[in-house]
């Protein structure tokens, strides 16, 4: 028996029966049952040595991998270190979006909230108040172009993205929308995400900041229930301030809970409907745009 | 949440890796999921099985490794490990913590044939 591989000692090579060691010494192609590891039992199927293959350092040995066989085009079982973020593709596109927007000095804000917080009303009033400042809007919804229609009615340019089954906008959708919108240098780009306080938190779109919009009718504990979104946001807009007395909203509790999940978050309370507090929001926008231009 | 999108991301990476490394089949795929990643593991496992059909990772075993949640405490300015997103600082009891790690979701490695 071969002391190296443990296979039977007689093989057929070059049409002759000879010892396995002799076949290797003569450099003849031969086949025999073979163990793929020194400590393993011989494999039940024949093992082929290439001509010239030996058990020395120049040994051309097939079938030594975990699979035990050699199949052209297939590799042996092995471990591939990947260490890649699952969202790597989205993040790469988001980085590209950000590069384009930075080059243009465009302030891109990703507006996130639950459905019904008043995002679109806030946007319409904001567009009116910014009075002619260059801006564009990307509207994300599962279905309908209702929101983009409302934005366009103000005279602003808007692209509606319907995500279909999707629960969030991703960087590729926004990248295509930016290509079509061609935002003007030094303009605002408002991205109204799908109304959803969970999924959009994880998807970078290339924006400068996420702005979470929360209405006073939603409950003071909402930031605690959906901490990821409020952690990811730079600013929280507390909307529908005019309704606060009617639903016993505790504005201090809203602020405390927002700061509990994100100690650094900025908070602006306003009513898009009555206009109360809108000047603070508009000043915030102008300051962020000025930072981009600097 | 968006586990289906994540599974589609995994499929894309598997296909890219299969081209780059010339393998035909993934037998085991290991993910690292941070405690604050917002990933529902059972939903991801379901989405994985469905999404990998017809890819090299069809039938692969999915293993998920939990990574701890890390946060910076604004009161004692230390980075601490916390289990719960709203847990107080284990060192000083402070309540103002900002997550610093634990939102990872990445493919660590895979065993392939």
Query: What Rg do the C-alpha atoms of chain A give, in angstroms?
Result: 33
| A100, A60: one domain | no
Average per-residue pLDDT for chain B: 92
Q: Cα A21–A26–A28 angle (5° rounding)?
A: 90
**Looking at the complex, does the CB of residue A76 fall below 8 Å from at least one CB of chain B?**
yes
**Looking at the complex, does the CB of residue B108 fall below 8 Å from at least one CB of chain A?**
yes
Q: What CATH architecture does domain B3-112 belong to? A: 2-Layer Sandwich (3.30)
| A127, A263: one domain | yes
Residues forming beta bridges with residue A267, ordered by sequence position? A236
Q: By residue range, what is the domain housing residue A70?
A: 1-80
ipTM over 0.90: no
* Start-to-end Cα distance in chain B: 32
Which residues from chain A sit within 8 angstroms of residue B8, using beta carbons? none
pLDDT of residue B58: 96
| A240, A274: one domain | yes
| A9, A126: one domain | no
Does the structure show a pLDDT above 80 at A62? no
Taking residues A171-176, what's their average pLDDT?
A: 95
pLDDT level of residue A114 (50, 70, 90 thresholds): very high
Global pTM reads 0.77
Count Cβ atoms within 10 A of the Cβ of residue A45 and give its class: 0-12 exposed, 13-18 middle, 19 or more buried: exposed
Does the structure show a pLDDT above 60 at B22? yes
Distance between CA atoms of residues A245 and B97, nearest Å: 31
pLDDT of residue A55: 47
| A108, A242: one domain | yes
Q: Which residue of A has its CA nearest to B73?
A: A263
- For A24, phi then psi, to 5°, come to -70, -40
- Number of structural domains in chain A: 2
| A273, A172: one domain | yes
Taking residues A9-28, what's their average pLDDT?
A: 62
CB atoms within 10 A of CB A144: 11
Say yes or no for a CB contact (<8 Å) between B9 and A87. yes
| A51, A92: one domain | no
Distance between CA atoms of residues B2 and B30, nearest Å: 19
Closest CA to A68 of A32, A38, A30, A37: A37
Taking residues A202-224, what's their average pLDDT?
A: 96
Q: Which of A80, A104, A127 is the last residue of a domain?
A: A80
pLDDT of residue A151: 94
Q: Which of A23, A53, A80 is the last residue of a domain?
A: A80
Helices within chain A (DSSP H only)? 20-26, 88-104, 119-130, 146-152, 171-181, 222-225, 227-232, 251-261, 278-293
**Looking at the complex, does the CB of residue B55 fall below 8 Å from at least one CB of chain A?**
no
pLDDT of residue A53: 43
pLDDT of residue A293: 86
| A155, A44: one domain | no
| A132, A257: one domain | yes
Of A294 and B99, the structure prediction assigns the larger pLDDT to B99
Percent of chain A with pLDDT over 70: 74
Exposure b/e, A271-290, CB count within 10 A at least 16 = b? bbeeeebbeebbebbeebbe
**Looking at the complex, does the CB of residue B113 fall below 8 Å from at least one CB of chain A?**
yes
Taking residues A127-151, what's their average pLDDT?
A: 93
Which residues from chain A sit within 8 angstroms of residue B27, using beta carbons? 77
Instruction: Give the best residue of A77, A82, A168, A198 to mutate against chain B (max B CB count within 10 A).
Output: A82
The predicted-structure confidence for A88-100, as pLDDT tens digits, reads as follows: 989 999 999 999 9
**Looking at the complex, does the CB of residue B95 fall below 8 Å from at least one CB of chain A?**
yes
Q: Which of A80, A114, A141 is the last residue of a domain?
A: A80
Map out the domains of chain B as residue ranges: 3-112
| A39, A158: one domain | no
| A288, A191: one domain | yes
Of A25 and A103, the structure prediction assigns the larger pLDDT to A103
The predicted-structure confidence for B64-73, as pLDDT tens digits, reads as follows: 999 999 999 9
Does the structure show a pLDDT above 90 at B28? yes
Taking residues A219-245, what's their average pLDDT?
A: 95
pLDDT level of residue A56 (50, 70, 90 thresholds): very low
| A125, A258: one domain | yes
Residues forming beta bridges with residue A140, ordered by sequence position? A161
Reading the block at residue A166, the tokens are 């999707």
The predicted-structure confidence for B46-81, as pLDDT tens digits, reads as follows: 999 999 999 999 999 999 999 999 999 989 999 999
CATH number at A110 reads: 3.40.50.300
pLDDT level of residue B1 (50, 70, 90 thresholds): low
């Amino acid at each position: 028996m071969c002391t190296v591989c443990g296979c039977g000692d007689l093989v057929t090579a070059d049409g002759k029966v000879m010892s396995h060691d002799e076949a290797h010494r003569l450099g003849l192609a031969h086949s025999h049952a073979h163990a793929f590891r020194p400590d393993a039992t011989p494999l039940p199927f024949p093992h082929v040595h290439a001509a010239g293959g030996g058990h020395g350092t120049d040994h051309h040995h097939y079938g030594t991998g975990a699979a035990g066989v050699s199949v052209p085009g297939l590799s042996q079982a092995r471990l591939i270190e990947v260490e890649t973020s699952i969202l790597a593709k989205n993040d790469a596109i988001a980085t590209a979006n950000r590069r384009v927007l930075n080059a243009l000095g465009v302030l891109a804000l990703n507006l996130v909230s639950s459905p019904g917080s008043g995002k679109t009303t806030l946007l319409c009033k904001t567009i009116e108040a910014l009075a002619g400042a260059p801006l564009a809007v990307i509207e994300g919804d599962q279905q309908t172009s209702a929101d983009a229609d409302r934005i366009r009615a103000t005279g602003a340019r808007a692209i509606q993205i319907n995500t279909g089954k999707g629960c969030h906008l991703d960087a590729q959708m926004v990248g295509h929308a930016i290509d079509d919108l061609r935002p003007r240098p030094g303009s605002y780009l408002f991205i109204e995400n799908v109304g959803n306080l969970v999924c959009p938190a994880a998807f970078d779109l290339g924006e400068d900041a996420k702005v979470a919009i929360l209405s006073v009718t939603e409950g003071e504990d909402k930031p605690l229930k959906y901490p990821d979104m409020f952690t990811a946001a730079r600013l929280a807009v507390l909307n529908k301030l005019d309704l606060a007395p009617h639903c016993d909203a505790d504005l201090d509790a809203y602020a405390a809970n927002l700061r509990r999940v994100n100690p650094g978050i900025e908070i602006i309370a306003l009513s898009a409907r009555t206009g109360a507090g809108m000047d603070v929001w508009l000043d915030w926008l102008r300051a962020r745009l000025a930072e981009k231009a600097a | 949440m968006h586990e289906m999108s994540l599974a589609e991301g995994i499929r894309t990476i598997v296909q890219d890796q299969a081209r780059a490394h010339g393998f035909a089949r993934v037998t085991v795929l290991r993910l690292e999921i941070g405690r604050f990643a917002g990933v529902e593991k059972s939903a991801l496992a379901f989405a994985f099985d469905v999404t990998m059909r017809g890819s090299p990772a069809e039938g692969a075993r999915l293993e998920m490794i939990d990574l701890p949640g890390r946060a910076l405490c604004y009161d004692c300015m230390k980075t601490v490990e916390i289990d719960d997103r709203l847990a107080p600082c284990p060192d000083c009891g402070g309540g103002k913590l900002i997550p610093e790690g634990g939102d990872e979701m990445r493919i660590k490695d895979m065993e392939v044939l």
